[in-house]
A = this chain, B = another copy of it.
Amino acid sequence: MPVTIKDIAKRTGKSITTVSRALHGYNDVSPETRELIVRVANEMGYTPNLLAQRLQKQRTDTIGFILPTFGPRFSDPFFSEFLAGIGSSATKYGFDILVSTQPPGEKELEAYRKKVTGRQVDGFVLVRTRCHDPRIQYLRETRTPFVAFGRTEGEIDYPYVDEDGASGMRLVVEHLVRLGHQRIAYISPPLIFTFARDRLRGVQETLSDAGLTLPDMYLVYGDLTQRSGKVQAQALLDLFEPPTAIIAGNDLMAFGVMSAIQERGWKVGKDIAVAGFDDIPMSEATHPPLTTVHQPIYQIGSLVTEILIKIILGETPEQTQYLMKPRLIIRQSCGAQSDH
């Protein structure tokens, strides 16, 4: 039912070749013919069938993004913002985004493989990289273009954008130490994620530079959700000698920490300092506002996508590995400023 190039050819009395060439601005079409064809195409409301176009061109102008969902109640503000960033670059270059959801595990690679060999996408944006990431290995082997948000361990060379989590944590810890804290606890995200190792390393190194340590009982693990931050914080507060400051590996868990503290009737920032990591928009509107490390997720999403598209288009981006320098955002949750 929709109008094809063939319909235009019939209507104008020209060949389909000429129609195609006229519409694409080739110069072997006379001005009058071109004018006629363009007019008729508009009249008939022609839009090219992208499937056919892509089959012929052997390019899809689509980038893939597979959401690593963990369970049904999946709601990380991170992804909304990241996706918006991907979208902005994609739209700019006329690319589409093919999204699917897939929990890590057995079938994960299969999902990538199907999109690659089914020629549904020209490349992938990867997120939440893991220390030994099978996806990266697979995509490298098959020479599928991809750019990752995050690094892996080892010497593999591939395009990525990452924030320097170790330096970020250094800023946080130094700030807390400066405020006089000696007993600092850390709630780490699962160590399969590279960013979790970086951040943990940052915490440990900075503490030891300051002549302090991170004893085992002050190192606990959460799963990035607010709820797990709350649970872990409760355990920390139950200790015989509870910490005076708690750092969470991400903002969401930091929120949980704050509510655990408040439930006991203590004051965040005064009785116990709290800090997070990510600076999601919500962090400035909590009570008290959260001290955290800023991570420009939207910009990173946008940058990652831009690099990917350049690689797909065969341009060589001037730089393919970015390590962002983090910025500490001091708010009231660590007690540096007067708390209300």
Query: Which residues of A come within 8 Å of B, CB atoms?
Result: 2, 45, 47-52, 54-55, 60, 62, 65, 67, 69, 72-81, 83-85, 87-88, 90-91, 96-102, 113-114, 117-120, 225-227, 229-230, 252, 255-256, 258-259, 262-265, 280-282, 284-289, 297-298, 340
**What residue in chain B is nearest A3 (Cβ atoms)?**
B117
Interface contact B81-A74, CB-CB below 8 Å? yes
Interface contact A47-B118, CB-CB below 8 Å? yes
Interface contact A49-B119, CB-CB below 8 Å? yes
Given contacts A49-B119, A84-B72, A119-B2, contact A281 B100 (CB under 8 A): no
Listed by A's residue number, 9 A-B pairs whose Cβ atoms lie within 8 Å are A75-B77, A75-B81, A75-B281, A77-B80, A83-B83, A84-B101, A99-B99, A262-B340, A265-B340
**What residue in chain B is nearest A81 (Cβ atoms)?**
B75
Contact of A281 (CB < 8 Å), options: B98, B225, B280: B225
- Contacts A47-B117, A91-B100 known; 19 new A-B pairs at CB < 8 A: A2-B117, A2-B119, A47-B114, A49-B55, A50-B118, A55-B55, A65-B99, A72-B85, A75-B80, A79-B83, A88-B101, A97-B100, A98-B99, A226-B281, A229-B285, A230-B285, A255-B282, A256-B285, A262-B340
Bound Cα distance A54, B229 (Å): 46
Give chain B nearest CB distance to A319 CB in angstroms.
22
Give chain B nearest CB distance to A61 CB in angstroms.
10
